Structure 1
Amino acid sequence: GSSADVQMQNFFRKCVTPGAVINVGILGGSISQFGYGYQVTFIKQLAEMCPSAEVKLYNGARSSTPSMTLGYCAVTAMGGPSELDLFISEFTYNDGVKYTTDGAFSSLPYELMLRSVLTAFPYSPSVLTLHFWGLDFTHKTPQAALVKLARRYKVSALSIRDVIWPYYTAGRDPYGSKDKCTIDGRHPSLAVHQLTADLLQTHFVTRFLAW
């Protein structure tokens, strides 16, 4: 998103400033909470990208928790950072379960979470909304509604579901089966966590090189 790209410049400046501290925040469900998850690898990749700076992760992800619950206490949930440079939200799975009633999905809780994060700090972080699949590894998710919000607020969006689904439906490696995409039928496999970290890194490196 255009706003996210402008806000990303704070990160870029810190990346090339010796002694600077880059703060990365995450809110989401268990996908972003796992000790072996994409965020662990991504933070290591950022540290390699910005060797002169210190990269700190403020991870407020909670298992089975939707966006409204964490959005109300976003700063506290992430451990109380005084500022954020990058922020990742990952709620497609949990919000799809918690905020769908009689087939109708409400994106209002997600919007309130985004607004909370964008206004909670002295300057807005560069926001990336991250999207996986639905309950029990289904294609059906509220992704379209959440990406619509990302566009409205001019932040970035990355869909892991859309990256792997053509491979899955065609039965092609490396994501040609449910077992290869998930670790337990629901949560991403180690390979998909690695893919996620690599795509996040590519997203930021591409923009950094163009800066």
Structure 2
Amino acid sequence: LSVHLLTGCQKYIWMGGAPPEGMVIPKHPSCLEVLRMAFAQAARIHARFWGAEKIRKFAGTCRLKGWDWRKGLGRWQWETGVGAGKVFWQIAKAKKDVKWNPELVALVDHAFAKATWQALVGYLQHAPVTLAHGDFHAGNMLLRNDEKQKCQPQKGGSLSSSSREEGGGKIFLFDWSEAAAWEGAVDLAQ
């Protein structure tokens, strides 16, 4: 089952919030259960590859976004991306049909003002690193659902074993084309 059908596919949200006629959206597991399963899956992946030594070994076998930046390489690529982001932000900010929250505008303006290559490389020398999916959203997830056992939250917000591989569903991630050597929280923010 494609997870975006459970959590609200972007296409349906932008088109009025309804799936195509005739498409039945399962009611179980709930969006909260799916979110818990997705975060638990991300945590397993991040834990397995946590730390620069593990990533260094892995990065040698494939190309991971962000790895070169940790070594101070790829400045042109980074500055081009940030420069494009600044231009598009100015265009978006100037739109008269959008009412921007002033705090959001101040935050994004401040972030772009502080975004320098030197600041990034300096930060990355000490930042935590793991394997990040890089495009961690519902459209890149499939759910194997087991109706008999559902994800059960435990004290402190952790998950019971029924939410893991043994039953209760499991999230599978695909489209790893944006995989990166980065902080795990980047995946969760998506």
Q: TM-score band, normalised by the shorter chain?
A: under 0.3
TM score, norm. by length of structure 1: 0.23
| Structure number with larger C-alpha Rg | 2
Q: Which has the higher strand share?
A: 1
